[in-house]
Amino acid sequence: MIWTSIAALALAAQQPHGARQQAQVIMPENAGQRRVQEQIGWADAVVSNGVVYMSGVPAYLAPGETDLDKAFARAFDAIGKTLKRAGVSWDDVVSITTYHTDPNAQIEAFAKVKSRYMKSPHPAWSAIGTSGLLQPGGLVEISVIAHVPRKAGAK
């Protein structure tokens, strides 16, 4: 009995205890981007207890580009790929937070693109103005939270 208890305690001590250590961590598929994120210390997303928490994805104009629609669509496409890797879709997104470098100039074009990816009923959305983003030339950074749908028959 004592040895069983000691063995169980030793095994428990070796197991990760935090929610993040027990979560599914979604890292980039691109090896170079993965190295950067591992070096600085962030994941594309973390799936914990049925919730997908995504890191911010920047929208920026490509060299010579002036069309905000294209910049925003690239960011939404990248988010969609990460959502898929996490086992969810745009329909599972319950919250979106956006950080805009020029909210008044960007919000109309942004909302137009957003509506192509997220249909009614709409998620909660907080749009925040900021003086700058980490991504050079970044216009908007987009972060979402999604819930993993329950499987049919699950309680």
Among the listed residues 36, 103, 113, the one whose alpha carbon sits nearest the alpha carbon of residue 74? 113
Q: What angle in degrees, to the nearest 10, is found between the helix axes of 68-85 and 103-117?
A: 50
* pLDDT at residue number 150: 82
Global pTM? 0.83
Residue 50 falls in which region: left (phi positive, over 0), alpha (psi -120 to 50) or beta: left
| Cis peptide preceding 58, ω within 30 of 0 | no
In this prediction, residues 70-87 reach a mean pLDDT of 97
Which segment of 37-46, 111-120, 122-131 scores lowest on mean pLDDT? 37-46
- pLDDT, tens only, 2-19: 555 454 444 444 555 676
Those residues whose C-beta lies under 8 Å from the C-beta of residue 2, and which sit 6 or more positions away, are none
Domains of the chain as residue ranges with CATH = 23-147 (3.30.1330.40)
